[in-house]
Chain A
Amino acid sequence: MSSKKPILELRNVDKSFGPIDVLDNISLNVSEGEVLCLLGDNGAGKSTLIKTLAGVHQPSSGEILMDGQPTSFASPRDAQERGIATVHQFGGTYPLMSIGRNFFMGSEPTKGFGPFKIFDRAKANRIAVDEVQKMGITRITDGDRLVGGLSGGERQSLAIARAVFFGARVLILDEPTAALGVKQAAHVLRIVNEAKKRGLAVIFTTHQVMHAMAVGDHFAVLIRGAIAADFRKGDKSREEIADLMAGGESMADLEANIENRTESHSGHAPQSNA
């Protein structure tokens, strides 16, 4: 694995929003044909790291290298043009717009010439419907349908299908399986695997150990914005990974905590009196 060339590399990247330091001295790399799983508790900085790679944020200090060359992504469009496609944790779809327009937002297919280029609705709809069906969402057959009428998971699948379609070199998925049913989550994991086989670098975050274990080759655990562990598949047991994902606390302790809390309220879940 390590013989492959890293596509994206971060060197000592810090990111702060005014006085709030969110990322602290992050060094990471991801190579072609490799899946990097970013793990960590809520608020650990996973989405911020992803947004930095997607051109949404610029690092406060440190370097980003693409194919070994120091670079910077001036804007999300800049990152996209260099083959990095991202599905962000929230949003990504526009409820009152059609499936076809959602799919091609920002990269519209056109027909016609000169200043009279028009949005190619038939083509957009056809590709969007095809790609979403490939994700296992077979109920979507009409590209003119408004996205607001789709379920949360269908919307998520649409956003992922879009990134897979546009992702030329790097596919970044922030909690892609969070809203999905078992079957659709399995589809997404399969797609991650396919992208990896096609030689893409995939970065993905999840709170589910199962999902991480299923596709990850390389794991990085963030705790309060710093990398607490960086290891490869097989280096750690499932329990160790689960503990790291819980922010370093042991799962067994957490489970014991839950038990205690229920017991101390004589078998009933505690009533909120806040």
Chain B
Amino acid sequence: MTDPTTSNISPDASASTGISIGGLLRSPASGAFMGFAVVFIIFSVFGFGRNFLSVPGVTTWVNYASLVGIIAIPVGFLMIAGELDISTGAVLPASTMTVAIVSGHYEMPVLVGVIAALSVGAAIGFVNGFIVTRTQVPSFIVTLATLFAVAGLTLYLSILFINTTNSFYHAPDWAKSLFGGKFYGFNSSVFWWFGLICGFVFFLHYSPKGSWVFALGGDQGSAHNAGIPVKRLKIGLFMLCSMSTAFAGVLQVITFNSATSQANFGLIFNTIISVVVGGVLLTGGFGTVIGIVFGALTLAIVTQAIGFTNIDRNLSFLIIGVMLLIAVLMNDTFRKVATNWSASKKK
């Protein structure tokens, strides 16, 4: 503390106040929030006369965001850890069909179906993580392989068990209101999403193990040298991702009463767009849960709520494309600001 320029600033100043302009600016969530705000304002202006801000308008995109978001956050964890998971597009239908077959066709209690679906997710996640940690194959390829393998297996087993690729399932009332109910227009999944967000924020940003996830994406060799159980952590993250996807499948089948075994390739893109628009660095090591939440909300507005505005529905993909590019460029700038920012300099 002999440096005259810093002697009047306590090193603890920033640590104890917690929130400061610089602290907010260097958070990767701020870019995501600004993107969300811009899209929200533009859509509010163009949708003022067409119910964008009405209850059906808002619930449409929030409901959609919740299902994508439940999956996108753990996909984001993996991206922060330097891995990609695109098998979600097959895990979701595998989960919905599991519930429909176990609890629908075989009339087992709904919880048995839910646990079966989550177990299917856990197993797929374990296989993904196991192969990624034991081989040099990039996770993009490993999960591409499991995407197709699981998609094919789901179709095959659906035909084998119930001789159809689509099925219906009506959950008992208590399960319907718990997993697929509606409260003022919001699906149960929105509340589940909110609960999971709290858990995910705690895990990534407050629990001591959150640092480890960032370390994996920052420098895996050093993380291993620092005594972090790299393989176990990575397998755990893949399992978390597939189980969250399976859980989204459970919510989906109980909300909409139907299941399909068709792979959902759109989901892969939607989760990755949410994560990247949410400010997670593609190469790993940087990102926030709240950023991903805003990413999912932004994506949901652009794809789902465009019908509540005067904007031509066909422009939605164009907007997404432009938004994605802007987000990636902005993330870069934000990261530079974050890296160079210091409480003692006040640039």
Contacts and interface: CB of A to CB of B under 8 A. Distances in A.
B219 A133 contact: no
B248 to A, nearest CB: 24
A107 B212 CA distance: 10
B208 A86 contact: no
B2 to A, nearest CB: 6
A122 B206 CA distance: 12
Interface string A112-135: 000011110110011001000100
Interface string B209-251: 1111011001101111111110000000000000000000000
B12 interface: yes
A271 to B, nearest CB: 37
A144 B14 contact: yes
Interface string B148-188: 00000000000000000000000000000000000000000
A132 B33 CA distance: 35
Contact of B16 (A78, A95, A122, A149): A122
Contacts of A78: 227
B219 A145 contact: no
B225 A86 contact: yes
Nearest to A112: B206
A22 B285 CA distance: 32
A48 interface: no
Given A105-B228, A106-B228, A119-B206, A125 B222 contact: no
A94 B225 contact: no
Contacts of A110: 208
B23 interface: yes
Contacts of B15: 100, 121-122, 125-126, 143-144
A76 interface: yes
Interface in A76-92: 76-80, 86, 88, 90-92
Interface in A119-168: 119, 121-122, 125-126, 129, 133, 138-139, 141-146, 148-149
Interface in B1-28: 1-3, 6, 9, 11-12, 14-16, 23, 26
Contact of A144 (B207, B208, B281, B343): B343
Contact of A142 (B14, B208, B229): B14
A108 interface: yes
Contacts of A146: 26, 338-339, 341
B3 A101 contact: no
Contact of B226 (A106, A109, A117, A141): A106
B213 to A, nearest CB: 11
Nearest to B344: A141
Nearest to B286: A96
B135 interface: no
Contacts of B212: 105-106
B286 A141 contact: no
B225 A95 contact: no
Interface string B64-89: 00000000000000000000000000
Contacts of A148: 339
B12 A96 contact: no
Contact of A94 (B202, B215, B335): B215
- Chain B interface category by residue count: 35 or more
B340 interface: yes
B342 interface: yes
A97 B214 contact: yes
A180 B15 CA distance: 28
A118 B18 CA distance: 15
A143 B15 CA distance: 8
A94 B220 CA distance: 10
A125 B224 CA distance: 22
Contact of A91 (B3, B211, B219, B342): B219
A99 to B, nearest CB: 10
Which of B16, B339, B340, B344 is the most central at the interface, judged by chain A CB atoms within 10 Å of its CB? B339
A76 B215 CA distance: 15
B26 A76 contact: no
Contact of B218 (A94, A122, A126): A94
A84 B323 CA distance: 49
B19 to A, nearest CB: 12
A179 B333 CA distance: 28
Interface of B: 1-3, 6, 9, 11-12, 14-16, 23, 26, 202, 206-212, 214-215, 218-219, 221-229, 281, 285-286, 335, 338-344
Interface of A: 51, 54, 56, 75-80, 86, 88, 90-97, 100-101, 104-110, 116-119, 121-122, 125-126, 129, 133, 138-139, 141-146, 148-149
